[in-house]
Structure 1
Amino acid sequence: MRFVKMQGAGNDYVYVDCFRETLPQPATELAPRIADRHFGVGGDGLILITPSEIADARMRMFNADGSEAEMCGNGVRCVAKYVYESGISRNNPLRIETGRGVLALDLVLEDDRVQKVRVNMGDPILHPREIPTNLGLGRDRVTEYPLEVDGTNLPVTCVSMGNPHCVIFVEELLDALVHGLGAKIERHPAFPRRVNVEFVRVESSKAVQARVWERGSGETLACGTGACAVCVAGVLTGRTDRQVSVRLPGGVLEVEWSEEGSVFLTGPAVEVFRGDWPECPNA
């Protein structure tokens, strides 16, 4: 099975072109094996590029633990790069079907190669039941709501960008927070489908620094939907403007929450290498 390794701001996945390739085993079983950084290709998960009846292509995204997620902002940019450069579709903008619905992606080209992609991520979902979270039931949104973890109340802001996020503003981005609390918050009973966790330090109204504990993968170098959630949370709490640069360990993502409601994500899409994966699942 042929695969392509790609990354967006360091958020790396193994991509399989299901227009041309057949998986050697179910994606839920393949994802943990192929994403393993010691015994596999290595990555934050597996992304399948498949035919769609309503768009140029469809993206299915599986975390490193084999669980399927609804959406990946960095992943969908790389899908767009592959779809355009491989000739599956030469449309610009492209339309990619995701668990969030069909997204429109504007391609920034240089010598007919995709360098950056601007994605209309749609409107953020703020109602607790739709995120979903058990916090703040009866409210229209969950903003700086106390979440008890290890005897400490953390003020959290919850946003869904098609997948659930819990944003926490902090003074310092410490390992003790990200690794000490990230996994506990991910699986907290307040989040019935688990949750992605963003720890954020505000540098100015136009720039923030963030680290992300990603549901099913642990800390990742970047998270596109997470960057979008950070921008939305920054606006809701009065910390940032509607346009903000989100600096993550893997690079910078530009996010805008428009007055009309949609969130726009702009960032790189980079191919790392290509290879062959053994057809035998026990190889």
Structure 2
Amino acid sequence: MNIKFYKYQGAGNDFIMIDDRSLNFPKDNIQLVSHMCNRHFGIGSDGLILLQNDTLSDFRMVYYNSDGNESTMCGNGGRCIVAFARDLGIIDKIATFNAIDGGHIAEINYDIIKLKMINVKEYTVSDQYSFFQTGSPHHIQPVNNLKNHDVYNEGKKIRYAEMYNSTGGTNVNFVEPISKDEIFVRTYERGVEDETLACGTGVTAAALDFAEKNNIRMGELKVKVLGGELKVYWFKKHDYYQDVWLEGPAKNVFKGELDLDL
């Protein structure tokens, strides 16, 4: 059995893309998905995404973490699947799609994809740490000297903390302000169980935490990640965040076929 795949990356967050409009991909095969995402024995990626037909929008996004399990929303994956849909000829400069957290729209400007995230109503903020639900759960931890921080070990401890049992664990974002209009974020991702070069829902959560702590009801924020730079836009109304957009690059890396008989 050969599986045709495409590889995309958004600020270093990389994904295997499968055109599954025919519904032929064995999506319940956790071992297969995990094998494909494995960087030593498979293709290698932070996750795998299926593009399927949808009756209410241009397409449907189904996202799997690299451990093989279907997961919650992935912001950079959402931006990458928009680029994938454009390259397949499904959409042009505007896209609508459904994901596990609901409907999304996106705008395309060459390799820059601007994705509208869900309204963010569930969050708690404190000086010690914050929590935001931006389509996926995110713990926000302020730190100093983030460049040299032990993201893997500290992130792993928080990811499995008892207080996050109800959400199946959490993603962990370590954040350091750079200036009044830029922050630096490093993320430990659940499901990947390691640090990734970028995390879209995590960057969004960190930016909204910055907005909440600095009482910025409408604005934009540059976010530095290990894989480059992203930008988040927001508008706060009625004590929740709406018009939340995540913007950054999304590019095709290569395509090929995986021979499962090898």
AA partner of residue 117 (structure 1): I
The answer to whether the Cα contact below 8 Å between 2:4 and 2:256 also exists between their aligned partners in 1 is: yes
**What is the RMSD of the two structures over their aligned residues, measured on CA atoms?**
1.9
2:132 matched residue in structure 1: 159
Per-residue deviation, 1:11? 0.1
AA partner of residue 112 (structure 2): K
What 5-or-longer segments of structure 1 have no aligned partner? 110-114, 127-140, 146-154
Per-residue deviation, 1:187? 1.4
Matches within 5 A, 1:61-210: 61-90=63-92, 92-109=93-110, 115-126=111-122, 141-144=123-126, 155-173=128-146, 176-191=149-164, 192=166, 193-210=168-185
What 5-or-longer segments of structure 2 have no aligned partner? none
> Counterparts of 1:238 and 1:267 in 2: how far apart (Å)?
24
* 1:251 counterpart (228, 231, 236): 228
Distance 1:175 1:184, change over 3 A: farther
The answer to whether the Cα contact below 8 Å between 1:125 and 1:162 also exists between their aligned partners in 2 is: no
- Runs ≥4 residues deviating over 4 A: none
Distance 1:167 1:242, change over 3 A: farther
TM-score by length of 1: 0.84
Mean alpha-carbon deviation: is it higher for 75-84 or for 16-25? Answer: 16-25
SS of the residue aligned with 1:264? Answer: strand
Per-residue deviation, 1:224? 0.7
> Counterparts of 1:103 and 1:25 in 2: how far apart (Å)?
22
The answer to whether the Cα contact below 8 Å between 2:12 and 2:227 also exists between their aligned partners in 1 is: yes
The number of aligned residues is: 252
TM-score by length of 2: 0.90
> Counterparts of 2:186 and 2:86 in 1: how far apart (Å)?
30
- Say yes or no: does 1:236 pair with 2:212: yes
Q: Highest relative contact order (Cα 8 Å, sep 6+), 1 or 2?
A: 2
> Counterparts of 1:94 and 1:165 in 2: how far apart (Å)?
26
The answer to whether the Cα contact below 8 Å between 2:17 and 2:84 also exists between their aligned partners in 1 is: no
Give aligned-pair identity as a percent: 32
Deviation string, structure 1 residues 181-239 (Cα, Å, up to 9, x no partner) = 11121111111221111001101120011100011111100011111001111112228
The answer to whether the Cα contact below 8 Å between 1:166 and 1:195 also exists between their aligned partners in 2 is: yes
- Say yes or no: does 1:222 pair with 2:198: yes
The answer to whether the Cα contact below 8 Å between 2:133 and 2:205 also exists between their aligned partners in 1 is: yes
